[in-house]
A and B are shown apart, each in its own frame.
Chain A
Amino acid sequence: MQKRLILDSRLIDITIDRLCQQLIENHQHFSDTVLIGLQPRGIFFSRLIRQRINKLISVELPLGYLDTTFYRDDFRRRDVPKKANETRINFIIEDKNVILIDDVLFTGRSVRAALDAMLAFGRPSRVELLVLVNRKYSRDLPIEPDYVGRNVNTIDSQIVRVEWKEQGDKENSILLLNTNMKR
């Protein structure tokens, strides 16, 4: 399998910094803002975003984890079932500005499921989407991110893999893998 490095840990760090500056620009004091990381792989990235915002402006943002497994539209249609993960949102999102955070945006179906799943915790006043990697030209649904770490042009058989040190990988990095797989 062919591998190509898209971002190494130093560049990811710079990217996180830039994304946080953009968030600060748009949300200023974050008085009504909450962060929600999408399970399973968006949660590492969401923790880093929260830490960095705290470092930059000393604001502790509420952070929750949202699992979309039970809201997906491919139930019984996928070859291998998906395993559910923990949802932990200890706050109400009613009238809040929610920033949904995921590592890779591909078809947009996870985000659709997340929008659905989120409603169980209230009606947010506004929802924004922040992703580390945006795979362009691969969307099944009309969903676009508000904040993008890196845009990449990919074809369906390629896989974008984000590795996190916190998850047991060697270091933070984003890789592009070529496979023979069909979507």
Chain B
Amino acid sequence: MSQLSVRHLLGIKELTIDDIELIFETASNFKEIINRPIKKVPSLRDITIANVFFESSTRTRLSFELAEKRLSADVINFSSSTSSVKKGETLLDTVNNILAMKVDMVVIRHSSPGAPHFLARHIKANIVNAGDGTHEHPTQALLDTFSMRLHFGSLKGLKVAIIGDIMHSRVAISNIFALQKLGAEVMVCGPNTLIPIHISELGVKVELEVRKALEWCDVANILRIQLERQQIKYFPSLREYALYYGVNKQLLDSIKKEILIMHPGPINRGVEISSDVADSDHSIILEQVENGVAIRMAVLYLLADSPLAN
């Protein structure tokens, strides 16, 4: 297998295990390249990529942009706050206008679930989903599982707890799909109000106590409380959340085993994770960021690598 089974990366759900393996293998090659003194390859020199972000982002946008530049692609950036979207233009019109400027690929983040799927049905360019509402965030899940794999060698039988705001998290959904495809066991943990009612139908364990989740898992992927998506109050106060669900050193020390700590960022220090945990030796948060560039290079490279006739 040297080709993906899909033309767009819309979600992890649509990927086969072979696709994921191919992305990982290609990403390991790119990881070697981005650690060289000269970090650039000429592969995508005749490709133009538009980063279309209808929602704010630091890490993902920078990571994509860096990945594109390391592959020698031409890059244009668009963010909704400074564009004609404010004047009432529709999503399809905006993107069609961008495509009229001869763009080959579109990396899109949007607050509506399904926005990338809608575009994929209507336009010719390859679409990469960089997060659509509370639905999926495939590149984040790929880089998370890639980081775990580099650490453990294989994900078969690995126990991963996803802790925090599961309800509003696209990272959680994509991670669940990716982890299950790779053979890991998944548990979600958080306050009852932040766990979707039917989530156990995806085949994940549900746990309401952080201590029990930590005692069970090998890896804790800690998520941020997404206040911007919460229209109503799901818990009394951030302070209370930190008290009951925050992961701190004292709690980890009381559990007699090593747990790998991950976080997709941005971190709210002192809320879901304390500083001494985020900066500890068990945390691979910054490694995740590095792997993110390699994974995104692999995704863009593999999606672009279909004959020009298509």
The interface size of chain B toward A, counting residues with CB under 8 Å, comes to: 27
Interface residues of B in 70-116 (CB under 8 A from A): 71
**In the complex, are the beta carbons of B307 and A87 less than 8 A apart?**
no
Taking CB atoms, residues of chain B closer than 8 Å to A78 are 307
Chain B, 266-292, contact with A by CB distance < 8 Å: what is the 0/1 string? Answer: 000000000000000000000000000
**In the complex, are the beta carbons of A76 and B25 less than 8 A apart?**
no
Q: A84-B26, A119-B38 in contact; A70/B32 too (CB < 8 A)?
A: no
**In the complex, are the beta carbons of A81 and B42 less than 8 A apart?**
no
In-complex Cβ contact of B33 among A70, A75, A77, A79 (8 A) = A70
Q: In the assembled complex, how far is the CB of residue B2 from the closest CB belonging to chain A, in whole angstroms?
A: 4
Chain A interface: which size bin?
20 to 34
Determine the residue in chain B with the shortest Cβ distance to A116: B42
Taking CB atoms, residues of chain A closer than 8 Å to B306 are 76, 81
Binding site for A on B (CB under 8 A): 1-3, 22, 25-26, 28-29, 32-33, 36-38, 40-44, 46, 71, 301-302, 304-308
Number of A-B contacts (CB under 8 A): 59
Is A164's beta carbon under 8 Å from chain B?
no
Alpha-carbon distance between A70 and B28 when the two chains are bound, in angstroms:
13
Q: In the assembled complex, how far is the CB of residue B41 from the closest CB belonging to chain A, in whole angstroms?
A: 4
Taking CB atoms, residues of chain A closer than 8 Å to B26 are 84
Binding site for B on A (CB under 8 A): 67, 69-71, 75-88, 116-117, 119-121
**In the complex, are the beta carbons of B29 and A76 less than 8 A apart?**
no
**In the complex, are the beta carbons of A70 and B42 less than 8 A apart?**
yes
Residue among A71, A77, A83, A121 with most chain B CB within 10 A: A83
Q: A70-B42, A76-B305, A77-B308 in contact; A120/B37 too (CB < 8 A)?
A: yes
Q: A75-B44, A76-B306, A86-B32 are in contact. List 15 more A-B contacts (CB 8 A).
A: A69-B29, A70-B301, A71-B42, A76-B308, A77-B307, A78-B307, A80-B3, A81-B2, A81-B302, A83-B22, A84-B29, A87-B32, A87-B33, A120-B36, A120-B40
